[in-house]
Amino acid sequence: MPLLFALVLFLFSFHVRTAFSAHCSITTPTKTFEKCMTLPTQQASIAWTFHAHNATLDLVFSGTFISPSGWVGWGINPSSAEMTGTRALIAFPDPNSGQLVLLPFILDPTVKLQKSPPLSRPLDIHLLSSSATLYGGKMATIHNGAAIQVYATLKLVPNKTKIHFVWNRGLYVQGYSPAIHPTTSNDLSSIATIDVLSGFSAAHRDDTRTLKIAHGILNAISWGVLLPIGAATARYLRHIQALGPTWFYVHAGIQLCAFIIGTVGFAIGIRLGELSPGVVYGLHRKLGFAAFSFGALQTLALLFRPKTTNKFRKYWKSYHHFVGYACVVLGVVNVFQGFEVMGESRSYAKLGYCLCLSTLIGVCIALEVNSWVVFCRKSKEEKLRREGLISCGSGKGSGIHG
């Protein structure tokens, strides 16, 4: 339990640290703006000045490349908070000269469906000016992690200060057409609705991120930690005669707590799916449903547990073992799959979980070795005892028969 508490504290502190570690700035090497905002993904930020008298917006987007031949872009969707329909400005190295270029794109449905590569064309919004610079000036080069700032001046619709802001980045460019961006949770969530007059963003994105964090922590604890602990409890404590039936109540209590917490995490996952139309994690979703179904079957099996004298007890026991271990394996595998879809595959949160799971596996190995040592010792003693009884009986045979 102290190890589990430490894991919860570590995961929570990591996500809080991540949420507050990024920062924005209203000052750039060429201009100073009135407001700025840290965007929720990709360590990106924006700064802007809104001129209410003529509905003009001066804006700079700050992002980073993830490949020397990649691209970074941002745009505005005039109608809805989604990628399709976005009017974007995308920067990437020129395939011929290697110099930084900035081109306009309209992301229509064919781009999302990957039916055809995006082609640069003039935007149908009032874009007054645009430019892009690398951090470090003209001598800077594009590399993995290179920072870029994309400037633009736009004319907004009068009395409409809320804009749907979309941003992303990719690994490479085909000619002058940006290739598809990565499809992790963070990359698919690079959308925000911002009021440029007040400086506030729509709350549902923050709520979604909070739900993702809660979903990840609850499921890592339940399916990834408590469930294996409960299985280990049944395997290694039931043979300790001094405990009596206590091992069963401990086992059942841990597994029941794991299933209840896991059910809450599962429900949050379903809600996240409803809040993210078009975002589908096929393998993670299937593993989640399978683990939850097996967990529900195990809970129901507890209600139909035959007595030890019942002839069906051995079949129930085999079923219970198979479903239980399958549920443990599915749960642990899906926790790692969850780290992948959340973009935390190389995070400290995953490291903390791996350390916790490794500790649990190490304890199980030690207990397994100890169980086999005890089993072999008892077998040897039983064998010697039988041999002793046989020799004793043969020695007293004549006396008994006489």
Write out pLDDT tens, residues 32-76.
898 898 888 888 999 999 998 888 999 999 999 988 889 999 999
**Contact by Cβ (8 Å): 62, 148:** yes
**Contact by Cβ (8 Å): 377, 242:** no
For residues 286 and 299, what is the distance between their CA atoms, to the nearest angstrom? 20
**Contact by Cβ (8 Å): 349, 14:** yes
Write out pLDDT tens, residues 320-335.
889 999 999 999 999 9
Band of pLDDT at residue 110, cut at 50, 70 and 90 = confident
Residue 215 CA: distances (Å) to CA of 184, 210, 339 = 16, 8, 11
Band of pLDDT at residue 396, cut at 50, 70 and 90 = very low
Which strand (E) or helix (H) includes residue 332?
Answer: helix 313-341
Copy the structure tokens of residue 401. Answer: 């028969």
Q: Which fold would CATH assign to domain 207-383? A: Four Helix Bundle (Hemerythrin (Met), subunit A) (1.20.120)
Q: Which residue would you say has higher pLDDT here, 16 or 373?
A: 373
Band of pLDDT at residue 137, cut at 50, 70 and 90 = low
Greatest CA separation found in the chain? 124
For residues 97 and 256, what is the distance between their CA atoms, to the nearest angstrom? 63
| pLDDT at residue 249 tops 60 | yes
Copy the structure tokens of residue 347. Answer: 């995070």
Residue 302 CA: distances (Å) to CA of 86, 236, 255, 262, 274 = 54, 19, 11, 17, 32
Q: How many Cβ atoms are within 10 Å of 200's Cβ, its own excluded?
A: 12
Task: Output the known binding site for heme b.
Answer: 215, 251, 284, 320
Sequence spans of domains, the chain: 27-195, 207-383
| pLDDT at residue 312 tops 70 | yes
Write out pLDDT tens, residues 341-362.
877 878 888 899 999 999 999 9
In the chain, the percentage of residues whose pLDDT exceeds 70 is 85
- In the sheet with 45-51, reading across from the earlier edge strand, the strands are 35-38, 45-51, 56-64, 147-155, 126-134
> Which ranges constitute the DSSP H helices of 54-195?
109-112, 185-188
| pLDDT at residue 263 tops 90 | yes
Strands 177-178 and 45-51: unpaired
**Contact by Cβ (8 Å): 26, 34:** yes
Whole-number pLDDT of residue 23: 64
List of residues 6+ apart from 146 with CB closer than 8 A: 64, 65, 134, 135, 140
Task: Output the known binding site.
Answer: 215, 251, 284, 320
Q: Which fold would CATH assign to domain 27-195? A: Immunoglobulin-like (2.60.40)
Residue 339's φ and ψ, nearest 5 degrees, are -60, -35
For residues 260 and 64, what is the distance between their CA atoms, to the nearest angstrom? 41
3-state secondary structure of 349: helix
Dihedral angle, C-alpha 355, 356, 362, 368, nearest 10 °: -160
Residue 230's φ and ψ, nearest 5 degrees, are -65, -40
For residues 92 and 175, what is the distance between their CA atoms, to the nearest angstrom? 10
